[in-house]
Amino acid sequence: MRILVTGGAGFIGSNFVHLTLSTRPDVAVTVLDAMTYAGSRASLAALGDRVTVVEGDITDADLVDRLVGEHDLVVHFAAESHNDNSLSNPWPFVHTNVVGTYTLLEAARRHDVRYHHISTDEVYGDLELDDPARFTEATPYNPSSPYSSTKGASDLLVRAWVRSFGLKATISNCSNNYGPRQHVEKFIPRQITNVIDDIRPKLYGDGLNVRDWIHVDDHNRAVWAIIDHGQIGETYLIGADGEADNKTVVHDILELMGKDAGDFDHVTDRPGHDRRYAIDSTRLRTELGWEPEYPSFREGLAATVEWYRANEDWWRPMKEATESKYAATQSIVQR
């Protein structure tokens, strides 16, 4: 089987490539990645000759048409993925997430190639802290940020291509991922690398916003379950019952790294900051038999702390630029 993995030099895509090589001896992978600030060649180093890396843009229609035509399956991870960036400059989000997805869909339609679309729970908007509800496949779309609205738009394009053109596609909407090779702009790696650098972790607003954490390998195993056994045209939510508020996560990181649990700062809140995400993954579990393999968020977090301690060469080159960008918009707030 020949698969085209877009965004395979990013966080989730590169972990998908690693998982695929170690569990699927019959699969050859082509990565298509524009190597933006979020792409890392180091994430794909020394993987052998079952992986080919093509540096290119998913909005390049000729390149995409040729590559899609040479493969049996497209797994589409490539995106502009960071909410904070989407608030300072939305255009790359519209271009990559909407136009890029359109370009892939048209190529998959022309060549009649199976397509799996990676998306996020953020398309559903947010929940109140005390709401017993969780997102399901039937929850209406209600995105808040330029990032989540462009992801929602791309999901709707996929649904339309299935209905109107018979595209053989599936969609998954996953909750917040953590694990190795995540860019240090994101919450968990930012705080771990801050602590390594003796910088106090930074919590947005009151720190009580809740995210539903899943280890990236559990996400990617679910993606394979959908590729193998999912129904064409259907959407599956992926989540591992990992709800935690940001303050608790920062406490856990500080504790795991031998620091005082109160050693953090509150900083300026994110405009439009979603309060809570929570996934009901009953469909994935009952219809496809998927279960998370990580026993708990705490254990996955401890392993992630160890990965960043052991792989400073990987994250060091991106740390300074990331923190100077944050320093321009965020300041410490006393609470």
- Active-site residue, 121 included: yes
b/e per residue, 36-64, with b = 16+ CB within 10 A? Answer: eebbbeebbeeeeeebebeebbbbeeebb
Closer residue to ligand NAD (CB): 7 or 201: 7
159, amino acid identity: R
CB of 94 to ligand NAD, least distance (A): 11
Q: Which does 298 bind (CB under 5 to 8 A by kind): ligand NAD, ligand TDX, none?
A: none
Closer residue to ligand TDX (CB): 20 or 175: 175
Contact between 147 and 83 under an 8 Å Cβ cutoff? The reply is yes
Task: List the x/- string, 67-86, binding to ligand NAD by CB under 6 A.
Answer: ----------xxxxx-----
Where in 241-270 is the site for ligand NAD (CB under 6 A)? none
State yes or no: residue 114 binds ligand TDX (CB under 6 A). Answer: no
Other C-beta atoms closer than 10 Å to the C-beta of 156 total 15
Binding-site member from 75, 85, 86, 100 for ligand NAD (CB under 6 A): 100
How many CA atoms lie within 13 Å of 45's alpha carbon, on the beta-carbon side?
7
CB of 37 to ligand NAD, least distance (A): 8
Q: Which does 211 bind (CB under 5 to 8 A by kind): ligand NAD, ligand TDX, none?
A: ligand TDX
Cα distance between residue 149 and residue 157, in whole Å: 12
Closer residue to ligand TDX (CB): 114 or 178: 178
279 token code pair: 């996934």
Contact between 50 and 29 under an 8 Å Cβ cutoff? The reply is yes
State yes or no: residue 176 binds ligand NAD (CB under 6 A). Answer: yes
Cα distance between residue 209 and residue 214, in whole Å: 16
Active-site option among 57, 80, 106, 121: 121
Binding-site member from 18, 71, 76, 211 for ligand TDX (CB under 6 A): 211
State yes or no: residue 213 binds ligand TDX (CB under 6 A). Answer: no
Q: 326: closest CA among 194, 178, 216, 129? A: 194
- Active-site residue, 122 included: yes
Q: Is 146 exposed, middle or buried (0-12, 13-18, 19+ CB in 10 A)?
A: buried
Total of residues contacting ligand TDX (CB under 6 A) = 16
Cα distance between residue 136 and residue 133, in whole Å: 9
Closer residue to ligand NAD (CB): 183 or 190: 183
- Active-site residue, 245 included: no
Q: 67: closest CA among 311, 76, 180? A: 76
Cα distance between residue 97 and residue 103, in whole Å: 10
Q: What are phi and psi of 54, to 5 degrees?
A: -110, 120
Where in 262-281 is the site for ligand TDX (CB under 6 A)? 270
State yes or no: residue 81 binds ligand TDX (CB under 6 A). Answer: yes
Q: 13: closest CA among 26, 25, 36? A: 36
DSSP-derived secondary structure letter, 165: H
Active-site option among 80, 122, 155, 252: 122
Q: Which does 209 bind (CB under 5 to 8 A by kind): ligand TDX, ligand NAD, none?
A: ligand TDX
335, amino acid identity: R
Q: Which residues bind ligand NAD (CB under 6 A)?
A: 6-7, 9-13, 33-36, 38-39, 57-59, 77-81, 96, 100, 118, 120, 151, 174, 176-177, 183
Q: Which residues bind ligand TDX (CB under 6 A)?
A: 81-83, 120, 122, 176, 186-187, 190, 202-204, 209, 211, 246, 270
Show which residues are catalytic.
121-122, 147
